[in-house]
Amino acid sequence: MSLDLAIILPTLNERGNLVPLVDRIDRAIGTAARWEVIIVDDDSKDGTADEARALALTDARVRVIQRIGRRGLASAAIEGFCATAAPFVAVMDADHQHDPALLPGMLAALKAGEADICVASRFAEGASTAEWAAPERERLSTYANAIARRITGVDLTDPMSGYFMLPSDAARALVPRLTGIGFKILLDLLATSDTTMRVKEFPLNFAARREGESKLDRAILFDFLAGLYDKTLGKVIPTRFALFGTVGALGVLVHFAVLTSLLFAFDHAFTWAQTAAVLVAMSFNFWLNNWLTYRDKRLTGAGALLRGWIGFVATCAIGGFANVAIATFLEGQGVFWALAALAGIVVGSVWNYALSSRFVWGRF
């Protein structure tokens, strides 16, 4: 029997969930189709990749991709699309919130040509989120779904679902144009497709997480907005730069708040006030960029954060010096202090983005 289906499981600290989930998948599909599980692990600290390899030694249907220096559900799914020879591919969470019992029906619908993509929906008739116990996240998903339907043009109750299945060749054809940022890969697929995909929904009983902590956080709304931006204006200004610029705009407010306060406190001390404002704004930008712009590469732990902050300050040092020098020169020439400070900020911003992207959250 030839391979029918690849099931991609993006993981981050899911060690204890793997064995029981593969067992549930086996019971759900049985011998009705030949399948494989591709575990794409973001270098989990709890040994998820090692557990997956141990499982693969006893079950040849399990394969492992351990990613170093790369994170995010969307990019994990993309790597899974490209790693399988199966004609159909599914993406689902490894935390047991997605019921594997839906897999056979989704596969049958695709094989019969009933749809271009099958989606497990938390909000379709017959679905349930009673076990989710997260009313704030549920409300956020409802609002996000309304916006997503307008962007994709697809009449779908849950375009933010993380559980879906489609033909592998269709997924790989879209890969070069996918954003690959964040967590909402289904929205990315639907919005990128040149033709409106025919969708068949399967009501999902969205269960409680079996163990571990969710990979998502309060930055998910920002992540969702980034995806929408990429599909509308991303071809004009790269999404990551736009996010960096958004954080920078907030940093400008911090910069002016500090500068104004110091100028009022210490009259005729513009150079020192501007220097202090640059350092405070730089620290603020590092923190917010780490939390939002580079959340798929986020630095965690006191040591990593300290090294990251030092690296951010170091790589932005030339931009910071240029900022202070230009602003001081212009202010000395009689330019209004606020305009002088803004000119310095603009000059340093491009330099800061280019180097910090590579040497703080990227790799040498």
123 part of a folded domain: yes
> 272 and 350: one domain?
yes
Winning range, highest mean pLDDT, from 12-26, 214-228, 289-303: 12-26
> 44 and 163: one domain?
yes
The answer to whether residues 140 and 221 touch, using CB atoms and an 8 Å cutoff, is yes
Residue 155 has pLDDT above 80, yes or no: no
Task: Work out the number of other CB atoms within 10 angstroms of the CB of residue 313.
Answer: 16
What predicted TM-score, i.e. pTM, was given to this entire model?
0.72
> 203 and 266: one domain?
no
354 part of a folded domain: yes
Q: Which of 79-88, 98-107, 316-325 has the lowest mean pLDDT?
A: 316-325
Percent of the chain with pLDDT over 90: 34
314 part of a folded domain: yes
CA distance linking residue 162 with residue 91, whole number of Å:
7
Output the 3-class SS for 225-276: HHHHHHHHCCCCCCHHHHHHHHHHHHHHHHHHHHHHHHHHHCCCCHHHHHHH
> 15 and 91: one domain?
yes
328 part of a folded domain: yes
Residue 309 has pLDDT above 80, yes or no: yes
232 part of a folded domain: no
Q: Does 228 or 91 have the greater pLDDT score?
A: 91
Q: Tens of pLDDT along 11-70?
A: 989 999 999 999 999 999 988 899 999 999 998 889 999 999 999 999 999 999 999 877
The answer to whether residues 318 and 351 touch, using CB atoms and an 8 Å cutoff, is yes
> 170 and 24: one domain?
yes
183 part of a folded domain: yes
Q: Average pLDDT, whole number, for the chain?
A: 83
The answer to whether residues 11 and 43 touch, using CB atoms and an 8 Å cutoff, is no
Q: What is the number of helices (H) and of strands (E) in the chain? A: 13, 7
CA distance linking residue 219 with residue 199, whole number of Å:
28
Of 226, 227, 288, 221, nearest in space to 253 by CA: 288
Residue 364 has pLDDT above 50, yes or no: no
Task: List the CATH number of the domain containing 116.
Answer: 3.90.550.10
CA distance linking residue 289 with residue 108, whole number of Å:
44
> 250 and 321: one domain?
yes
Output the 3-class SS for 73-126: HHHHHHHHHCCCCCCEEEECCCCCCCCHHHHHHHHHHHHCCCCCEEEEECCCCC
Domain boundary pick from 187, 217, 247: 217
Angle in degrees, 0-180, between the axes of helices 337-359 and 317-332, rounded to the nearest 10? 170
Q: Tens of pLDDT along 115-131?
A: 999 999 988 888 777 66
CA distances from 164 to 194, 223, 332, 342 (A): 19, 20, 61, 47
Whole-number pLDDT of residue 108: 96
Count up the domains in the chain and report the number: 2
Q: Which amino acid is at 275?
A: T
> 280 and 180: one domain?
no
Q: Tens of pLDDT along 92-102?
A: 999 998 999 99
Which residue range(s) make up the domain with 43? 5-217
Winning range, highest mean pLDDT, from 60-74, 220-234, 305-319: 60-74
226 part of a folded domain: no
> 268 and 348: one domain?
yes
Q: Which of 127-131, 210-214, 298-302 has the lowest mean pLDDT?
A: 210-214
Q: Does 106 or 334 have the greater pLDDT score?
A: 106
> 213 and 279: one domain?
no
> 62 and 142: one domain?
yes
198 part of a folded domain: yes
CA distance linking residue 75 with residue 42, whole number of Å:
10
The answer to whether residues 200 and 114 touch, using CB atoms and an 8 Å cutoff, is yes
CA distance linking residue 172 with residue 47, whole number of Å:
29
> 205 and 150: one domain?
yes
Q: Which two tokens stand for residue 254?
A: 């911090």
> 115 and 151: one domain?
yes
Q: Does 357 or 268 have the greater pLDDT score?
A: 357
Winning range, highest mean pLDDT, from 229-243, 306-320, 350-364: 306-320
CA distance linking residue 151 with residue 192, whole number of Å:
10
